[in-house]
Chain A
């Protein structure tokens, strides 16, 4: 059974309506890694400059066919220009694997912090907070080679603790879903309550 979406409009099939075409374009662009926007802009500018240069030459009978190619090149450049915003719109909604996911779990006498980050971008992660004097070297997290999850277990007395994660020694991130403290002017941080063991 042939899926209607598999029939290319130029292969003799029915011309798809706008919605189908739009969905197919978005799907195609989602599959391609995003280009650097400045690079695309530079490429487009080069093509347009070249086209403008060609048009500056007085047209003769011999140039008649050449002009068609020039128009084709301009159309491709315009298509790139139009595609950039579409592509950007697609890539702004990051897939789940590109988003940091953090959790903390109460363990006997303390808390286990877990952090899952996008692959290939992280050399080291540590957890900092008022339990270690906000020292990024004090509590490095260990990476599970299978799941790629970074973890650290810390023994803590009952009370409230403020913490954040430091990625590659410089980027501070917080868990968006766990409780956060009102910004004291330095930056965001999470809060966790360690309860009495008997509670």
Chain B
């Protein structure tokens, strides 16, 4: 009898303890909601100004060296500096920040070589990230070919970078982006593919790959069927179909 009641008491204690623990955990964190619901419109921020206090002295010297080199070579300063600041904010070590700044500097040079001198800073930065993720310069060139005007390749590059991040092989990402980009000047198809891949990637990269493959086939196939001047051939229906 004693043991049975002990077991029940223990069981009840477990539940009540966890409930108390949960309540304490949520109560101890204050809820600091603002008194007025109105998200202020923050002005355009200019984070490009060099701030050595964001790094320790040795790291600041190393990062500044690469930033100065970028200026000399005509590379975008902002993305390089932002990359270093991101490392600082995420509490990466100084050595790691300087090394990654150097690698990003090199990738920016390659990105400019692939995408062209007239590319925007955002295009070059996204291209550099793609190169760092394993895509080659020829793939960037093929994306540029389907989006040749200045700034027009940005969404295609961002979507390609997202594909690679979610485990799509670089070849498939390149083929998908160029195929979708060729169909239309609009970025709607690219954005829809990104959303589809993001949803399916939650179930694994294999699902994302399959979903992207199917989407590209149907999107490109649909565009070819609807192309002007193409005769629409309806499949024959059963005899009793009106």
Q: Do the two chains bind?
A: yes
The chain A residues found within 8 Å of chain B, CB to CB, are 32-36, 39-40, 43, 46-47, 50-51, 54, 66, 69-70, 72-73, 76-77, 80, 110, 112, 120-124, 128, 130-136, 138-139, 141-146, 148, 151-160, 162, 168, 172, 176-189, 191, 193
The answer, yes or no, to whether B232 is at the interface (CB within 8 Å) is: no
Tell whether, in the assembled complex, residue B158 and residue A160 are in contact, meaning their CB atoms are under 8 Å apart. yes
Interface of A is mostly: loop
Q: List 8 A-B contacts (CB under 8 A).
A: A73-B3, A73-B4, A76-B7, A139-B42, A179-B162, A180-B161, A191-B126, A193-B154
Report whether B38 and A142 are in contact in the complex, using a CB–CB cutoff of 8 Å.
yes
Contacting residue for B29 out of A40, A120, A157, CB 8 A: A120
A36 touches B31 (CB 8 A): no
User: Size range of the interface on B?
Assistant: 35 or more
Residues of B within 8 A of A136 (CB): 89
The interface residues of chain A lying within 8 Å CB-to-CB of B154 are 159-160, 193
In the assembled complex, how far is the CB of residue B195 from the closest CB belonging to chain A, in whole angstroms? 7
How far apart sit A110 and B44, CA to CA, in the bound complex (Å)?
Answer: 9
B165 touches A180 (CB 8 A): yes
Distance in angstroms from A162 CB to nearest chain B CB is 7
Chain A nearest CB: distance from B186 CB in Å?
10
- A interface footprint on B4-24 (CB within 8 Å = 1, 0 otherwise): 101110110111011101100
Task: Contact check, A191 vs B42: say whether CB atoms are below 8 A apart.
Answer: no
CB of B138 within 8 Å of the partner chain: no
Q: What is the minimal beta-carbon distance from B184 to any residue of chain A, in angstroms?
A: 14
| Chain B 121-175 residues near chain A, CB threshold 8 A | 121-122, 125-126, 129-130, 132-133, 151, 154-155, 158-159, 161-162, 164-166
In the bound complex, CA of A142 to CA of B36 (Å): 8
Q: Which B residue sits closest to A131, measured CB to CB?
A: B45
Asked if B94 is at the interface (CB within 8 A of a chain A CB), the reply is no
**CB-defined contacts of A143 to chain B, threshold 8 Å:** 32-34, 37
Instruction: List B contacts of A172 (CB < 8 A).
Output: 90
Chain B 38-67, CB-CB to A under 8 Å as 1, else 0, gives 111111110100010010000000000000
Complex alpha-carbon distance, A132 and B85, angstroms: 10
Cβ of A130 and Cβ of B6 under 8 Å apart? no
Cβ contact within 8 Å between B11 and A76: yes
| A66–B165 CA distance with the chains assembled, in angstroms | 63
User: Could you tell me the distance in whole angstroms from the C-beta of A32 to the nearest C-beta in chain B?
Assistant: 7
B interface, CB within 8 angstroms of A: 1-4, 6-8, 10-11, 13-15, 17-19, 21-22, 26-27, 29-34, 36-45, 47, 51, 54, 78-79, 82-83, 85-90, 92, 96, 100, 104, 120-122, 125-126, 129-130, 132-133, 151, 154-155, 158-159, 161-162, 164-166, 194-195, 198-199, 202
Q: Decide if B198 touches A176 in the complex (CB within 8 Å).
A: yes
Q: Which 8 A-B pairs have the closest CB atoms?
A: A133-B47, A182-B133, A130-B82, A134-B89, A160-B122, A143-B33, A73-B3, A120-B26
Cβ–Cβ contact A123 & B30, under 8 A: yes
| Contact present for A138 and B18 (CB under 8 Å) | no
Q: Are A157 and B158 in contact (CB under 8 A)?
A: no
Q: Report the separation of the CA atoms of residues A143 and B34 in the bound assembly, to the nearest whole angstrom.
A: 6
A184 touches B82 (CB 8 A): no
Residue among A39, A138, A178 making CB contact with B17, cutoff 8 Å: A39
Chain A nearest CB: distance from B15 CB in Å?
Answer: 6
Q: Are A130 and B165 in contact (CB under 8 A)?
A: no
* B165-A183 in contact (CB<8A): yes
With CB as the reference atom, state the residue of chain A lying closest to B2: A69
For the complex with contacts A76-B8, A160-B125, 5 further pairs of A-B residues with Cβ separation under 8 Å are A123-B30, A134-B90, A145-B34, A176-B198, A191-B158
Contact residues in B for A33 (Cβ distance below 8 Å): 15, 18-19, 22
A181 contact from B19, B44, B165, B202, Cβ within 8 A? B165
Residues of chain A within 8 A of B78, CB atoms compared? 130
Q: How far is the CA of A184 from the CA of B34 in the complex (A)?
A: 34
Chain B residues in 8 Å Cβ range of A187: 90
Task: Give complex CA distance A69, B158 in Å.
Answer: 67
Give the docked Cα–Cα distance between A82 and B90 (Å): 41
